[in-house]
Amino acid sequence: MLKTLLVSTMLSLAATSVSAAEVVVYSARNEQLIKPLFDAYTKDTGVEVKFITDKEGALLQRLKAEGQNTPADMLITVDAGNLWEAAKEGLLKPVQSKTLNANVPAYLRDPGDQWFGLSVRARTIFYNNQKVKPGDLSTYEDLGNAKWKGRLCLRTSKKVYNQSLVAMMIAEHGAAKTEQIVKSWVANLATDPFPDDTKMLEAIAAGQCDVGIANTYYYGRLMEKKAGLPLSVFWPNQKAGGVHVNVSGAGIVKYAKHEKEAVALLEWLSSPKAQNLFADVNMEYPVNPAVKADPVVAAWGSFKQNPVNLAKAGELQAEAVKLMDRAGYR
């Protein structure tokens, strides 16, 4: 036992060499959500997938520092804002692929073909169904209405999901109006913003507040654990722009050593075969329109997605952060 451990440790002291049939992935999507896919891919094709996980900001800096010598072929991360930033920093390269263009709707991929969404999460409204009727709800903007005073819960503005939501609102309404909306939300808060979506959903269920905004998979996970909670999903802005969606996605690294293999893996990830696995493992929606969502997820109902290209979330993210600071949204 100890001997094998020692041997493996010695091996890790030796640097990795470049071999043929492998793809090296840097991923900000955590291990338990990507490893099953890579294992399946290796079984299918014999191509080994080596990966390392870290926070997206750290991975981008690492890619930048490594430059041409990077071992990475593919970058996987959550939130379009991060994908956009990677493309802007010149870390990715455009990919011309009929397969990807067919599998990934245009608004969920980079107009410059440098990144592609692989799973969709909706950031939508949740409410306490013992205290709120779905008829009381209409839009994100309406959560700033005086009738919600002291009844709204939000996650912190420091999380990229909220930064992207506000960025997309700036794209739709302009900065001045968006700032008004965010200020009106802050005025309605029942309690300080929460560190994560799950805690916020629990607060709605416990009656600390009545409504809030969260990603669908957090709701799915929570209901799986505590089935009886009085929480329901509401799909806002159905007559206007649609529900705010975001993606987790991937791009090919500019200096990839196994470009062909990496593109093949990316195409496979967007294919019907992998899409269910990729999305279902985290209760997300497949990005590929030909693939049906997991039955549990599908049961939350169908809804109109906001079709504005997600690149906007990246372009306007810094502005969104500043706007939220000005509005006093912590």
Partner 1 sequence: MRGNGWRLTATLIAVLVIIPLVIVLASLFNPEREIWQHLLEYVLPGLLGNTVKLVVGVAIGVTLLGVSLAWLTAVCEFPGRRFFSWALLLPLAVPAYVTAFVYVALLDFTGPVQTWLREFAGGPVVFPPIRSAGGVILVMVLALYPYVYLLARNAFLTQGRQALEVAQSLGYSRKSGFFKVALPLARPWIISGLMLALMETLADFGTVAVFNYDTFTTAIYKTWFGMFSLQGASQLASVLIVLVFALIVAEQMSRRGLRFTQAGRHTRMDRIVLRGYNAWLASGFAALILLVAFIIPVMQLLSWSAKVFVQDFDARYVEFLWHSLLLGGLSAVLVVVTALLLTYAQRQHNDSWTVAMVRIATLGYAVPGAVLAVGIVIPLAWLDQQLIGTAKSWFGIDTGLILQGTLLVMLPAYLTRFLAVGYNPMDSAMQRITRNLEEASRSLGFSGLAMLRRVHLPMLRGGLLSAAALVFVDVMKEMPITLMTRPFGWDTLAVRIFEMTSEGEWERAALPAVALVLAGLLPIALLVKHSEKSR
| Residues at the interface with partner 1 (CB under 8 A) | 1, 5, 8-9, 12-18, 24, 28, 30-33, 50-58, 61-62, 65-67, 69-71, 78, 85, 88, 156, 158, 160, 163, 191-199, 202-203, 205-206, 208, 218, 221, 257, 282, 317-318, 321-322, 325-326, 330
Q: In sequence order, what are the residues at sequence separation of 6 or more whose Cβ sits closer than 8 angstroms to the Cβ of residue 10?
A: none
Q: Is the dihedral of CA 99, 103, 107, 110 positive or negative?
A: negative
**Contact status, residue 193 vs residue 154, Cβ threshold 8 Å:** yes
Report the residue number, 191 or 238, with the smaller CB distance to partner 1. Answer: 191
Q: Tokens 């036992």 — which residue?
A: 1
**Residue 147, amino acid:** K
* 205 versus 279: smaller Cβ distance to partner 1: 205
Please give the Cα distance from 58 to 233 (Å, whole number): 34
Helix (H) or strand (E) holding 286: strand 285-286
Which residue, 108 or 203, is less far from partner 1 as judged by CB? 203
Residue among 193 and 286 whose Cβ is closer to partner 1 = 193
Q: Least distance to partner 1 from the beta carbon of 102, Å?
A: 29
DSSP label of 189: B
Q: Smallest distance, Å, CB 50 to partner 1?
A: 5
For 174-258, where are the alpha helices, taking DSSP H only? 175-188, 197-206, 216-225
Q: Least distance (Å) from partner 1 to the CB of residue 239? A: 31
- CB of 225 vs partner 1, minimal distance in Å: 8
CB 281 within 8 A of CB 98: no
The residue among 163 and 178 lying less far from partner 1, judged by its C-beta, is 163
Nearest Cα to 242, choosing from 152, 157, 140? 140
157 vs 275, which CB is nearer to partner 1?
A: 157
CB of 275 to partner 1, least distance (A): 19
Q: Least distance (Å) from partner 1 to the CB of residue 325?
A: 4
The residue among 108 and 205 lying less far from partner 1, judged by its C-beta, is 205
Beta bridge partners, 125, equal 213, 234
Q: For strand 22-27 and strand 74-78, is the pairing parallel, antiparallel, or unpaired?
A: parallel
DSSP 14: S
Contact 270, 103 (CB under 8 A): yes
Q: What is the Cα gyration radius of the chain?
A: 21
Smallest gap, in angstroms, from Cβ of residue 138 to partner 1? 27
